[in-house]
Amino acid sequence: YKNFEGSSHLKIAEWIKRSNFKKVLDLGCAGGFLGKALDSDWKGELTGVDADQLWTGSEGLKIYKEILWSDLDLDRIDSLFKEEKFEIVVVLDILEHLKKPEELIKGIKRIIKPNGYLMVSLPNNNFLPVLIIRTLFPKLRWSRGPLDATHLHFYDINSAKKLLESSGFRIKKVDVTSVPLPIISNLFASGSILYPLYLLSLVVSKIIPHYFGYQVLLFAELDSQNV
């Protein structure tokens, strides 16, 4: 859970609150991190889907109206929600793990309301340190981060936009996050000695997002002409 300035969880939660969305589907909800970010000052209905039942009983899931334990590579999302329609579907760091992410996006189109929205976060494969490592060691994989060994697809800002646009969505907003340094070390947490360096990394990621954005965040609207 990324509970610090500029994190993906807080950014997505702020978009939801600012847009006044009340009926939200969180795909890949894990331990309810989006629910934690929305907190008690958001009055809406949150539904979650995740494949890993080890998250069952997590504190963050208590805010959710319903949790469905389902593998998005095996179960069609529109078969899980045949009647229900959502204002927005949130897919955080999930598409890169799926065999056919386009199929999930097509299914999402069937379960959102007309002119509904989709929020997506993806690791930025062009984040400069990752780009250098990929160039020098193309087969190198790690246990987490942009080079996570479980990633089946790799996206940068342009290819992430193309993924959604080719599936019938119009991009409304593009944003990025910086490296989550406060997770890496408490020295980068708010009030700590290296916190100014984290704030600097936020500024740099805004100025040069293609190479210093760690995650790509996309806010997209369903194109009703392509439903």
Residue 64 reports pLDDT greater than 90: yes
Please report the beta strands in the chain, taking only residues with DSSP state E, as ranges in sequence order.
23-27, 45-50, 66-69, 86-92, 112-123, 169-177, 215-222
Phi and psi at 95, nearest 5°, equal: -60, -35
pLDDT tens string 68-92? 999 999 999 989 998 889 999 999 9
pLDDT tens string 148-170? 999 999 999 999 999 999 999 99
Return the structure tokens found at 207: 């100025």
